Every structure is written in C-alpha cells, then in structure tokens.
Amino acid sequence: MPAWVIDKYGGNDVLRFTKNASFPIINYPNEVIVKVFAAGLNPIDVSMRGGYGAATLSVKRDPLNINQSGSEFPLVLGRDVSGVIMECGLDVKYFRERDEVWAAIPPWKQGSLAEFVVLSANEVSHKPKSLSHTEAAAIPYVATTAWSALVNTGGLNKDNCAKKRVLILGASGGVGTFAIQMLKAWGAHVTVTCSQNAERFVKGLGADGVVDYTAGPVEEPLGALEKFDLILDNVGGDTERWALNLLKPWTGAKYVTLVTPFLQNTDRLGIADGMMQTAATVATKAFKHLVKGVHYRWGFFAPSGPALDEIREMVDAGQIRPVVEETFSFSQVPQAMEKVEKGHARGKTVVQISKGGDD
C-alpha cells in the first residue's frame, strides 16, 4: 500500500514514499483496519522521526525482545487518523465496515501516513458528524492528551469545573487550543500564556485572560492574579521553578506537566535505569511540593476511544471546533513535517491521505 516511511532515524531527508508498504493485518480479534482519509501531525512525529522514545517503544512493540534491533523499520509516522472501517476482527461489536471513525494512534503502533492502519477497537471512536475528515484528523491526539492530563491526572470533569480557575502554559499550540475549549465548555475560568501575536486567537477560543510570554517573565503578572486550582504546563523547562507557587495551597490544587523526561531517560539510560531515574525524579518532586500543600503530577497521552466518544458529543454540540493551521496533500508529507518542526503552531497540521466521505 502507499505510505510515507522511515528506514532509520534522522532529519526530514529520512522520509521515503513507497507504494509497497506492508498492508496491515488483523492479529487479534478486537482489532479493526481503518482506511485513512486524513492524518494529523504533532510535534511527537518530528521527535519520533529523530529517534525519540525508541528504547521504550521497542519494548512495547517487542516485549520478549525476539526481534533484532531496527526491526521497527520501515516505520510509519502519524498519530491522528480520520477514515472508515474496512474490516473488523471477530470480537468487534461496536463498529461495522464503512463506519466513519477517528482515533489517536499509540506511538508504538504503525501510524496514519499510509493508506490503511490497524488499531484496537477500544482506541477508535465514531467520528463527529459535523466535521470533515481533514477537520476531524486535527483533534484525536491533542484531545486524548488533554483529556488524560486534565481528567485522569488533574481530576477535572464537566460536573466539577464551574468555579475552578485553570492556568494553561503554552496555550496556542495543538494541546492548548483543545484544552481551552474543553475547559470553557465545562465552565472553568481559563487564563493562558502564549506569544502576543496569538492573543486574539486564544481569546477567540474562549480564554478569559492572556499573558504574553514574549513581553518578559510571566511569573510576575501571573503572580498578581488570584491563585489557581489547576495548571496545565505545555512548556516545561524552568516553569516548574515558579508555577507551583501560583496554586491555591491545601485545597487539592494540582500542577500537571506534559513535558516530562520519561522517554529521554529510557533512551539515555536504558529501560531499567531510565525507569528508576524517572520514578526517583517524580517521587522527589511530588513529595517536595506535597509538603507545601500542592500536587505535582506528570501527564501523558493515553489512547482512548471512550474519551473520543465524549469529545465527539462536545464537537457535534458546537462546544469544540477543530483548529487546522494548514492542510497538505499526501505527496507533501515532508513539507507538512517541516511545518510542524518549525513550531509556533496555531493549531494542527493535517495531511489529506485520500479523498473520501465529505471532504
């Protein structure tokens, strides 16, 4: 089948188009094959192209370490998919052939820059009827990441957000633009940081307050505001030095960062030492902040069909809209990847893989 693959880790020049990639097959009865209409790209695709997470992802792909090193190649990137079900495993009850679906693809599986992709049925969800495939492909990876960070790790949901004050650091990119909309739909008060030229954009998505990080250190203007119940950090680096001081102490307030050293540690130190280092780091930080009355947490992307089912309802109710920065054709995958690599996104980069449905 046609696909963009990589045969080694590196820069954009390792991307190779082939018409002869292996057609995915159903290995387990709960799997489905999806014909890809549109694929969304994320910063993780650029990182994975360069080998980020290779050690941990290899263990996920081959837990018994049977295959030789490099057996992940040819590797297909692309974490978001919108398309139709082509074939269902024997145990799949919730989907039928030709159902229109969307999904976020776990990084240890072959991605969506290909004509077909195989997924577990519990990673897949029916696509919102109100969106085209290219619009739908802008949502699943950032949405399931934001959902995992805010709902599973941060403890927020539609019933407990009404009086909550939330701060999003780095709100103008993929995860942030989704998180603003979800939190506003649930009634939270949302303050964000982004560059000045994104101010109008994030306000248009519902942000109540905006602080420009390019105008100088943001800790000062943020420190003058009422304290927060939850902080979602999409920026990392030195934010941890000051951000936790902005939380309401002894109220259960949480800081959730998506920028963690987990995969760098396992890439650098190997699985065992890397996991130990990671556990020690997170435990030390969590304890250090717990004694000051605030919770320190790491958030991770988690593939989830059921989360996407709930997100579909919010999309079809008009509470969340896709934010597509630019759409590329299948032949333009290197340009699309270059665009993501440049950063400073205002939403998502999407690749149209084949014409279909309502596109």
Ligand X SMILES: NC(=O)c1ccc[n+]([C@@H]2O[C@H](COP(=O)([O-])OP(=O)(O)OC[C@H]3O[C@@H](n4cnc5c(N)ncnc54)[C@H](OP(=O)(O)O)[C@@H]3O)[C@@H](O)[C@H]2O)c1
> According to the binding rule CB under 6 A, does residue 26 interact with ligand X?
no
d(CA 250, CA 230): 13
- As a whole number of angstroms, the distance between CA 102 and CA 322 comes to 13
Q: 197 to 236, contacts with ligand X by CB under 6 A?
A: 198, 213, 234-235
Q: CA torsion sign, 270 to 276 to 278 to 281? A: negative
Binds ligand X by CB under 6 A, chosen from 191, 193, 278, 352 = 193
Burial class (CB in 10 A: 0-12, 13-18, 19+), 272: exposed
User: Is 201 within 8 Å of 223 (Cβ atoms)?
Assistant: no
CA distance 218 to 200: 18
Distance CA 344, CA 341 (A): 9
Angle at 116 (CA atoms; ends 112, 119), nearest 5 degrees: 75
DSSP H/E element including 113:
none
- The two structure tokens encoding residue 136: 């739908």
Q: Output 235 or 337, the one with its CB closest to ligand X.
A: 235
Contact 233, 170 (CB under 8 A): yes
**147 counts as binding ligand X under rule CB under 6 A:** no
The phi-psi region of residue 53 (left if phi > 0; otherwise alpha if psi is between -120 and 50; otherwise beta) is left
Answer yes or no whether residue 181 interacts with ligand X by CB under 6 A.
no
181 touches 206 (CB < 8 A): yes
Least distance in angstroms from the C-beta of 61 to ligand X: 17
Binding residues among 36-75 for ligand X as defined by CB under 6 A: 42-43
Looking at the Cβ atoms of 140 and 173, the one nearer to ligand X is 173
Q: Which of 41, 137, 175, 294 binds ligand X (CB under 6 A)?
A: 175
Please identify which residue in 120, 260, 264, 277 interacts with ligand X, judged by CB under 6 A. 260
Residue span 281-310 as binding mask against ligand X, x where in contact by CB under 6 A, dash where not: ------------------xxx---------
Report which secondary-structure segment, H or E, holds 101: strand 100-104
Which residue in 258, 324, 333, 350 binds ligand X (CB under 6 A)? 258
CB of 186 or CB of 301, closer to ligand X: 301
Window contacting ligand X (CB under 6 A); options: 98-106, 131-139, 171-179, 219-227: 171-179
Among 125, 145, 191, 265, binds ligand X (CB under 6 A): 145
Contact indicator for 303, 121 with CB cutoff of 8 Å? no
Instruction: Tell me if 161 sits within 8 A of 136, measured CB to CB.
Output: no
Cβ nearer to ligand X, comparing 163 with 237: 237
Among the listed ranges 9-17, 121-129, 173-181, 281-289, the one in contact with ligand X (CB under 6 A) is: 173-181
Under the binding rule (CB under 6 A), the answer on residue 324 touching ligand X is no
> By CB under 6 A, which span of 50-58, 121-129, 168-176, 266-274 interacts with ligand X?
168-176
Chain position whose Cβ is nearest to ligand X: 173
**Nearest Cα to 227, choosing from 288, 271, 165, 272?**
165
- Tokens 């960062």 found at: 257
343 touching ligand X, by CB under 6 A: yes
* Partner residues linked to 166 by β-bridges: 190, 230
Which one of the spans 11-19, 57-65, 126-134, 341-349 is the region binding ligand X (CB under 6 A)? 341-349
**Out of 6, 41, 46, 142, which residue is the one contacting ligand X (CB under 6 A)?**
142
Is residue 345 a contact point for ligand X (CB under 6 A)? yes
**Closest CB to ligand X among residues 22, 260:** 260
Establish how many alpha carbons lie within 13 A of residue 85's alpha carbon, considering only the half-sphere containing its beta carbon. Answer: 24
Which positions touch ligand X (CB under 6 A)?
A: 42-43, 142, 145, 169-170, 172-176, 193-195, 198, 213, 234-235, 258-260, 299-301, 343-345
